[in-house]
Amino acid sequence: MPEGDTVFHTAAKLREALVGKTLTRCDVRVPRYATVDLTGQRVDEVISRGKHLFIRVGQTSIHSHLKMDGSWKVSPTGRPSRAGHRIRIILEAGDVQAAGIDLGVLEILDRNQDEDTVAHLGPDLLGDDWDPHTAAANLIADPDRPLADALLDQRVMAGVGNVYCNELCFVFGHLPTAPVSKVSDPLRMVQRARDMLWLNRSRSNRTTTGDTRRGQQVWVYGRSGERCRRCRTAIEADRSGDRVMFWCPNCQR
């Protein structure tokens, strides 16, 4: 599942490719919007809100969400894509093409109302209006709630996906299943989440340990059976739920 930093990074890529340019092709491959044609209109801005992306073109806003496997690929116009039938939308501006592939959500909205779709989100970890106090209060609002559930709930704060969720639980010494009431300093936790995403917002090789070398980038995520970097205990994993959890049985309670 893409994390907020991936979406932020994607927005930057689309911004560089499209903003200020006039669309020379607009091909929306979703039946409901098949007649939408923004050719000839200028791309004004590309913004991200949590894991949501908006490409604003005139009075229209193209809203997309990457969900599990989605991506936007920018390439020179005319180069055949291997994504084929997985492409949901193609936007071209002269010699550059942006293709939305396997997007979990793709809808064409009225620009003036596009942010209604993200009104339910908590403070955006990578937004200009990031509000740690509200995020911290949201995080512990329901004391019995498992920590991983609260961290992943985009209404608590927007941008944490499963990688950061597992890493934050490790850094703070809590099991993903521990109740949020165990978190002694929720403000510090949400600030750490912000720091992690912020440091990775323009990087392609994500790190939560501060080490960008291959194999050294994360504390626990994807490391089941490997040694904990702090105590050398074998990292455990639980794949039985709808998302996989990783933890050190010695460092996390």
Contact set with Zn ion (CB under 5 A): 228, 230-231, 233, 248, 250-251
Residue of 3, 20, 135, 117 whose CA lies nearest to 64: 117
Which of the following is catalytic: 31, 45, 51, 226?
51
Write down the least CB distance from residue 228 to Zn ion, Å.
3
Q: For the CB of residue 180, give the shortest distance to Zn ion in the complex, in Å.
A: 21
Q: How far is the CB of 229 from Zn ion (least distance, A)?
A: 8
For residue 2, indicate whether it is catalytic: yes
The strand pairing partners of 25, in sequence order, are 92
Residue 115 phi/psi, 5-degree rounding, is -75, -5
Q: For the CB of residue 174, give the shortest distance to Zn ion in the complex, in Å.
A: 13
- 8 A C-beta contact, residue 223 and residue 235: yes
Nearer to Zn ion by C-beta: 13 or 192? Answer: 192
Q: How far, in Å, CA of 28 to CA of 141, rounded?
A: 41
Q: How far is the CB of 235 from Zn ion (least distance, A)?
A: 8
Close Cβ partners of 9 (under 8 Å, ≥ 6 residues apart): 201, 202, 203, 204
Dihedral angle at the C-alpha atoms of 102, 108, 111, 113, nearest 10 degrees? -100
Residue whose tokens read 């990074």? 9
> Is 130 or 247 the residue whose CB approaches Zn ion more closely?
247
Among this protein's residues, is 115 annotated catalytic? Answer: no
> Token pair of 39, please?
């050719």
Among 3, 123, 146, 176, the active-site one is 3
Beta bridge partners of residue 124, listed in sequence order: 158
- Assign 133 to helix, strand or coil: helix
Residue 13 catalytic? no
Report the residue closest to Zn ion, judged by CB: 228
Cβ distance to Zn ion smaller for residue 26 or 169: 169
Residue 32 or 230: the one with the smaller Cβ distance to Zn ion is 230
Determine contact, residues 177/146, Cβ cutoff 8 Å: yes
If the CB atoms of residues 151 and 251 are measured against Zn ion, the closer one turns out to be 251
User: d(Cα 169, Cα 183) in Å, to the nearest integer?
Assistant: 10
Q: Active-site residue numbers?
A: 2-3, 51
